[in-house]
Amino acid sequence: MTLIRTPNIGQTDAFYQALIDAQRDMSEEQANMFSTKLVLILANHIGDNAVLNEAIALAKSNPVM
Amino acid sequence: MNPVVQKTYTYPQFDYVQSEEQRTKTLKCHPVVIIGAGPIGLTAALDCAQRGIAVVLIDDNNTVSIGSRAVCYAKRPLEIWDRLGVAKPMVDKGVSWQVGKVFMRDDLVYSFDLQPEPAHKMPAMINLQQYYLEEYLVKACQEHALVDLRWKHKLLDLQQNKNKADAPVTLSLETPDGIFKVEADWVIACDGANSDTRKLVGAGFSGQFFQDRFLIADVVMKADFPTERWFWFDPPFHRGQSVLLHKQSENVWRIDFQLGWDVDPELEKQPERVIPRIQAMLGPEAQFELEWVSVYQFACRRVDQFRYGRVLFAGDAAHQVSPFGARGANTGVQDIDNIAWKLKLVLDGIAPASLMDSYHDERAFAADDNLLNSTRSTDFITPKNQASLRYRNAVLELAKTESFARPLVNSGRLSTPTPYLHSSLNTPDDATDAFVGKMFPGTNCADAPVRYEGANTWLLEVLNLLAVKQSNPAATFILLVFGDAPPNEQLNQLTSLLPAGLATPVLQLASGSLQDSEGRLQERYDGKAGTVYLLRPDQHVAARWRAFDALKIARAVKRCIGVFETSGANLGKKENAA
């Protein structure tokens, strides 16, 4: 399996809202911790090291605007 | 030096004796000289001696390790020491354990069991102060006729003849009676992380230093903590750092406090600083006494080549790891397990000197595996920036309720043997022979309970018993056969094909003298009827087949002693490269 790089989330706007709502009332540190835990939870769900490495490389190389 | 006395231990003082060769000013050439009588050098001397090599073991001091340094000894080194006949007092005196617990602040987040598989002779891990261990090894060395253990002998210089590969090494040694020279066909350098030998041959030793310090306190107390390894991240009694608690023998407990980088190591060693830390941890009621305190900083480093001509590096002289994972002494003992039989074959002229290159290949591979594990544990325990710290803490918080996060918790991955999966000495499985389970060419033999000649015993004991019955145990490759005995014509053919000096006794399961009393052997070796395992003298799998074939076995034995047949159509290395 390879990393999916085309749109794949069923309801994109609903997902994004859920993500933003979840950390709306958090402090900076709480929000950072939330994001970190989310990464770990999702990484376990994916499970495949090759896909995870691809995702890490993509996040790292994606240019800073 | 005056004898050092601790509360629970008095250091022995061994006598310096002037050697005959120094007294008579005679230049003698010894087959093997070992530098450094720590756990690894002592083990080297015993293993060489058991293989039939007369060794000189030198040490610049005349006592055992001052202070408790190594603490945890794992199953595989215990199996090796058992082969050498010294494991029993260690296991009897040591504290056996297999459960580890990890705490985050006040909560238990994770607990692990090192030996989920039952029916092994040796425990998963014992804790024992290094000085007891060395004492037992010294005693065994002193009792062995082939070990010449010389205290107060310091290595000053070492010369190899670069133009003549088979020329002996010349060593200059200093004793209370002055300086003299000895020669050695081979030198095993076990002189620790600050190895003088390494400097004298100009070997590289590089890696990573960690900007962190740890306070090691050995404390005498009567406490009812269970005999488990307890590791805290960010405990209430030592905020922001980690702490490790471990039981040793004689009611001595090892406590490791992470201190961070910005502390004064001299100040932190003072009892008035140490005692309040321990009191805070154990509670105001706890009664304890300090046995030993030190502060250290650790590094992960490896020598570039384990073999420099006729000098072989082993133990900390070859590789230095962080202590989380008990990978220092445990790895060193396995270095020796790898060296001794090979050296004997080379000294006897049965194998070429190039067999010693496989020592580097196999043990550098293991050292790299240990260094990787050790570095990963260190990165978890000592996060390098805020983001890494956050990931570490996120893992620990998730681990309390989520089982998926528990394997990510890394408070030290405890020492297990690294199989030599890519070694050139292995013969890979035939494509048509399918095997299941954990054994592969290059893995150490899993132990199992067996009955042998009517008595309950263990496979590894039987392998050793069978080897020492042969005229040259180091040249003995045991054939573990499941099912019917191999036909005589095959056995005769095998004998005719083997290089002179080698023996391949058959250990036959089922109708033979060996019984698989609990069925573990068959299970652990996937031992269907007809299966043949070819076992190295260091109790590792060299090759295996589903049927007995003298030609294939002979070829695998030669390959395992570094004899690759270059002529002929389909033998040795060429076959592998094809």
Interface contact flag, A40 B395, Cβ < 8 Å? yes
Q: Is the dihedral of CA B561, B565, B571, B576 positive or negative?
A: positive
**Contact, B323 vs B197, CB < 8 A?**
no
Cα distance between residue B495 and residue B552, in whole Å: 13
Q: Is B24 exposed, middle or buried (0-12, 13-18, 19+ CB in 10 A)?
A: exposed
Residue corresponding to tokens 């617990």: B101
Of B390, B402, B405, the CB nearest to A33: B390
Q: Does B509 touch chain A (CB under 8 A)?
A: no
> Can you read off the two tokens belonging to residue B270?
């003072």
Q: Which residues pair with B184 in a beta bridge?
A: B30, B169
Q: What is the pLDDT of residue B46?
A: 98
Kindly report the nearest CA distance between residue B391 and chain A, in angstroms. Answer: 6
Nearest chain B alpha carbon to A47: B404
Which candidate in B380, B402, B410 is best for mutational testing of the A interface (most A CBs within 10 A)? B402
Residue B409 with chain A: CB contacts under 8 Å: none
Interface contact flag, B394 A44, Cβ < 8 Å? no
User: Considering the entire predicted model, what is its pTM?
Assistant: 0.94
Nearest chain A alpha carbon to B397: A37
Amino acid identity of residue B152, one-letter, is K
Q: Does B485 touch chain A (CB under 8 A)?
A: no
Q: Distances in Å between the alpha carbon of B241 and those of B212, B261, B412?
A: 11, 11, 15
Going from the first residue of chain A to its last (65 residues), give the mean pLDDT of each consecutive group of 10, the final group possibly shorter: 95 98 97 98 98 97 86
Q: What is the pLDDT of residue B439?
A: 96
pLDDT in tens, chain B (578 residues): 344 668 889 999 999 999 999 999 999 999 999 999 999 999 999 999 999 999 999 999 999 988 768 899 999 999 999 999 999 999 999 999 889 999 999 999 988 888 778 899 999 999 999 999 999 999 999 999 999 999 999 999 999 998 898 899 999 999 999 999 999 999 999 999 999 999 999 999 999 888 889 999 999 998 888 899 999 999 999 999 999 999 999 999 999 999 999 999 999 999 999 999 999 999 998 999 999 999 988 889 999 999 999 999 999 999 998 888 888 999 999 999 999 999 999 999 999 999 999 999 999 999 999 999 999 998 999 898 999 999 999 999 999 999 999 999 999 988 899 999 999 999 999 999 999 999 999 999 999 999 999 899 999 999 999 999 999 999 999 999 999 899 999 999 999 999 999 999 999 987 678 999 899 999 999 999 999 999 999 999 999 999 999 999 999 999 999 997 654 434 333 334 33
Q: Distances in Å between the alpha carbon of B351 and those of A48, B355, B357, B563?
A: 45, 7, 12, 7
Interface contact flag, B398 A36, Cβ < 8 Å? no
Of A32, A41, A44, the CB nearest to B390: A32
Cα distance between residue B195 and residue B183, in whole Å: 19
ipTM for the assembly: 0.97
Residue A32 with chain B: CB contacts under 8 Å: 390
Residue A33 with chain B: CB contacts under 8 Å: 390, 393-394, 397
Q: Does B398 touch chain A (CB under 8 A)?
A: yes
Q: Which residues pair with B97 in a beta bridge?
A: B125
Q: What is the pLDDT of residue B6?
A: 83
Q: What is the pLDDT of residue B110?
A: 87
Q: Is B79 left (phi over 0), alpha (psi -120 to 50) or beta?
A: alpha
Q: Does B497 touch chain A (CB under 8 A)?
A: no
Q: Does A59 touch chain B (CB under 8 A)?
A: no
Nearest chain A alpha carbon to B390: A33
